[in-house]
Structure 1
Amino acid sequence: MQPTPEDRPITLSPSLPNPSSQPTPDKSVLQVWGNQPLSGHVTISGAKNSALVIMAGAILCSQDCRIRNVPLLADVNQMGNLLLALGIKVDRQGNCLDINAAHIAHSKAPYELVSQMRASFFVIGPLLARLGVARIPLPGGCAIGARPVDLHVRGLQAMGAEVQIDHGMVYASVRGQNKRLQGARIYLDYPSVGATETLMMAATLADGETTIENAAQEPEVVDLANFCRAMGAKIRGAGTKTIVISGVPSLHSTDYSIIPDRVEAGTFLVAGAITQSEISLSPVVPDHLTAVIAKLRAMGVQIIPDAPNRLRVVASERLSATDIKTLPYPGFPTDMQAQFMALLTLSDGDSVITETVFENRMRHVAELSRMGADIRVEGNHAIVRGVPFLSGAPVLATDLRASAALVVAALAAKGMTTIEGLHHLDRGYENLEAKLRQLGARIHRVTDGMETTSDSAARV
């Protein structure tokens, strides 16, 4: 086993944020001239939620790992900076990442990085598995709900870790000479994606067999399992409610390509529907979009599979109202709720959207209402009454998927919409405006009155 790193100050690389200063607010805005038809083909990027956790999963391996199809996103850059801060080698060439965690210099993640992105907490499982110790600040990210880490903590404790939370820091360690976690049977009170992924990674190097029951079934969980298996992990059942991991002594080098982003694909399907356009997109995994496709078809939108990894959306001139309830996969994804709310504002009749995953994920309602939408919120329900048209207005993105919803609404609105808060958009969509311009949209990013070319994330 690699010796535990000493608790010494972390030296940030020049590419990392200065901990003594706050991030500079992005003054850029998107200007969208709506009511323009779209046409053509759009290429879907790699899945953000796979990329982040697989980057953390590379910590499990003491050899080189190459990860392909990694999107250029602010969140990916942030995770790369976190790995660098831990002393891990990270090199990026386009959409390819080379990660080498042979020598981990620190077991403590810097607060200024973890506090900005919830996915940073993923490193606790791999660090604990490799080093027997991890110190991770409680995570931050979009303000869409509490998303506590208690499921992660209880699962790690079941595997023999001692975990304490003090002053916003999670301290985890494993006693014993070999500092290895022990296999355990773990039941999750809720099928949390983050907890499932954290515990699955931790279990890959544990002594014995670990069973995770009521596990999350999301495609990103399966992608992580496939990545770990490509490194030599023994995992079965990923994609079902029961995942079984047989611990191995070590993992080896791999070259792995992540899956397409199902949320980006769903967002473009909605963009085609709301603009009454015909567009195609690839690569996609249609099975990952089953719930989204079903709701679009219920609204009268044609979704045509032109190839195993290619879909075409053919919009109807009239959209039917429909009800939506967000649920863990394979239910309707919470990450598509905001975009569908934008689409339903232009449907015939009343629709009810019920959000069951996050308690604070309807902050986009106020902004859509500024554009003329008729939406009433009652608890975790939104009643959407279709209106004849939306009108361009100045709006503010309040979280990642809300930003996409506002872009989608702006594409169909009459007049110009100005969208602020683009740092949310850049966290999860690779060059969205460039892709939309390729389809014929009139959309431009403007900074201090000057049009700019978007680069969603600085390179690691």
Structure 2
Amino acid sequence: MDRIAIIGGAQLNGTIPVSGAKNSAIKLMAASLLTDEPLRLTNMPRLADTRFLGKLLTRLGVQVTESDGPDGQQTLLHAPEITSGFAPYDLVRQMRASFNVLGPLVARSGQAKVSLPGGCTIGARPVDLHLQAIEALGAKIDLHEGYVYAQAPRGLKGAEIRFPFVSVGATEHAMLAAVLADGVSVIHNAACEPELVDLQECLNAMGAKVEGAGTPTVTITGVPRLHGATHAVIPDRIEMGTYAVAAAMAGGEVRLSNARPGLIDALLDKLKEAGASVEETADGCIIRRNGQRLTAVDIETAPFPGFATDLQAQFMALMTTAKGESRIRETIFENRFMHAPELMRLGADISVSGGEARVRGVDQLEGAQVMATDLRASVSLVIAGLVARGETTVSRIYHLDRGFERLEEKLGACGAQVRRIKGDGEAEL
């Protein structure tokens, strides 16, 4: 099993290009099930999660072709027919978002059998709202032996969908299903994340009629069929925020290109409050820290445009060496402080009580062997390793590979001493 080793102490100076958004790309890939014409996605990240979904889509009848085009990395998806409506557990369990093939399969072919995704290390994250939305659109839903059986032989029907609380995944799933439904569907209490706007733009490029994404009310007027299209995946705001935090942690000057800083205003405001410098550019931003110690600041996670839960672990790592005490409140997912004990192995002073963590900044972290517990936690350990004295080794980095493309290469190009150690013990520089 691969590991990542970091020797701390080097400042970061250079440019880091931000990849396409993982959380958007995987939902856009699922949209390929809605048409018998090719969907071409550009600015595509190459990640474990996109590969997992590609395997599942291939099983369902989608031809998936990756290549490098004039617009960078691209993926061509073509499903001339749905050859199978069965999404087995051994594929769905590898990534929760693959459950979102259910709606498109029912919308296009009238039936599907999709495995429930199972548990998650950062909380229960049930799919009840997903099923309620598909059911509201007229599908008959049965649960049996860990599988969802969904049928709508006469097609889906437009409906009012009211979510009791905000769910990004359920909102996206409802949009994917409703675009081919007969009539008008209205999603109330919809999530407002930028990835939903990206999904709307892609679906509309395919001939759908979706309005309101990015607001609490999304309206979809169903159409009989969708056609092919070309769509550029939005830049990954979590990757952008992660490298912004890394630059503030290590010090130096890092330019983030192919980025949209407006998508992470909540984070950038906190970085400035802590003492880092943030300068917006034509295609991203520049993060600077001149070596002066950062000041502890408090954060509380919230749905967009608030402080993203997917950046909480990274910010906790940043606060471990800041002057003073910071309070970090997690309001989105339970069990999302599992990185705290691993940061403490590096010498961090952290106490956790329920949904709040208190981080008292220390003068120096010390390198150690640590273990990743989930995707965002894994990169927080890398960030801490950038300043820890000596060598930090992060194991179980398959979590990291799910969401960060060429991380060692991007950090290494800016001066970080980071390398991947292959499972057989051979280091890859």
Please give the TM-score of this superposition, normalised by the length of structure 2.
0.97
2:21 paired with 1:47: yes
Q: Does 1:333 align with 2:311?
A: no
Equivalence for 1:114 = 92
Aligned mates of 1:141, 1:427 — CA distance in 2: 17
Of 36, 56, 70 in structure 2, the residue corresponding to residue 62 of structure 1 is 36
Match of residue 4 from structure 1: none
Q: 2:39 is aligned with what amino acid? A: C
Matched, 1:145 2:119: no
User: In the alignment, which of 141, 160, 163 is matched to residue 163 of structure 1?
Assistant: 141
Q: What SS class does the counterpart of residue 412 from structure 1 fall into? A: coil
Alignment of 1:301 with 2:276, yes or no, is: yes
Matched with 2:295 is 320
Distance 1:102 1:231 in 2: 15
Give the alignment partner of residue 226 of structure 2, picking from 251, 255, 265. Answer: 251
Counterpart amino acid of residue 400 in structure 1: L
Any stretches of 5+ residues in structure 2 without a counterpart?
none
Letter of the 1:356 counterpart: T
Distance 1:310 1:70 in 2: 18
Structure 1 position 155, deviation (Å): 1.1
SS of 2:86's partner is coil
Map of 1:361 onto structure 2: 336
- 1:89 paired residue among 56, 63, 73: 63
- Whether the 8 Å CA contact 1:116–1:140 is kept in 2: the answer is no
Is contact 2:58–2:64 with CA below 8 Å preserved after alignment?
yes
Q: Deviations over 1:262-288 (max 9, x none)?
A: 000001000100012211011111211
User: 1:116, 1:141 within 8 Å by CA — same for their partners in 2?
Assistant: no
Q: Is the 8 A contact 1:342 1:408 kept in 2?
A: yes
The one-character-per-residue Cα deviations of 1:359-402 (angstroms, maximum 9, x if unpaired) are 01111001000000000000111011111111100000000000
Q: Secondary structure at the match of 2:243?
A: helix
Give the corresponding residue for 1:18: none
Inter-partner Cα distance in structure 2 for 1:436 and 1:193: 30
CA–CA separation in structure 2 for the residues paired with 1:170 and 1:449: 42
**Aligned residue type for 1:344:** M
- Partner Cα separation in structure 2 for residue 32 and residue 140 of structure 1: 33
Q: How does 1:31-430 map to 2 (within 5 A)?
A: 31-94=5-68, 95-140=73-118, 142-175=120-153, 179-307=154-282, 309-316=283-290, 317-430=292-405
Q: Deviations over 1:199-238 (max 9, x none)?
A: 0010100000000011011111111111000001001100
Contact 1:142 1:400 in 2 (8 A): no
Distance 2:412 2:4 in 1: 12
The structural deviation recorded for 1:306 is: 2.2
Asked whether 1:439 is paired with 2:417, we answer no
| Counterpart contact for 1:47–1:260, Cα < 8 Å | yes
Deviation at 1:140, TM superposition (A): 4.3
Structure 2: how far apart are the matches of 1:276 and 1:87? 48
What is the alpha-carbon distance in structure 2 between the residues aligned to residue 140 and residue 55 of structure 1? 21
* Alpha-carbon distance between aligned partners in 2 of 1:32 and 1:374, rounded to the nearest angstrom: 21
- TM-aligned CA deviation for residue 449 of structure 1: 2.4
Following superposition, the deviation at residue 452 of structure 1 comes to 2.5
Instruction: Kindly state the Cα deviation for residue 132 of structure 1 after the two structures are TM-superposed.
Output: 1.0
* 1:434–1:142 distance in 2 versus 1, CA, 3 Å: farther
SS at match of 1:428: coil
Q: What does the per-residue CA deviation read over 1:299-339, in whole Å, with 9 as the maximum and x for residues that have no partner? A: 111110122x2200011512111111111111110000000
Give the residue type in structure 2 aligned to 1:321.
A
Shift of 1:142: 4.8
Q: What SS is found at the alignment partner of 2:326?
A: strand
The answer (yes or no) to whether the contact 1:355–1:380 under 8 Å persists in 2 is yes
2-structure distance, mates of 1:72, 1:62: 24
- The answer to whether the 8 Å contact 1:85/1:110 transfers is no
Determine the C-alpha separation between the residues in 2 that align with 1:33 and 1:318.
Answer: 20
Give the counterpart letter for 2:17 in structure 1. Answer: T
Question: Percent sequence identity over matched residues?
Answer: 49
Separation of aligned partners in 2, 1:28 and 1:384 = 30
Q: TM-score, normalised by structure 1?
A: 0.91
Give the drift of 1:156.
Answer: 1.2
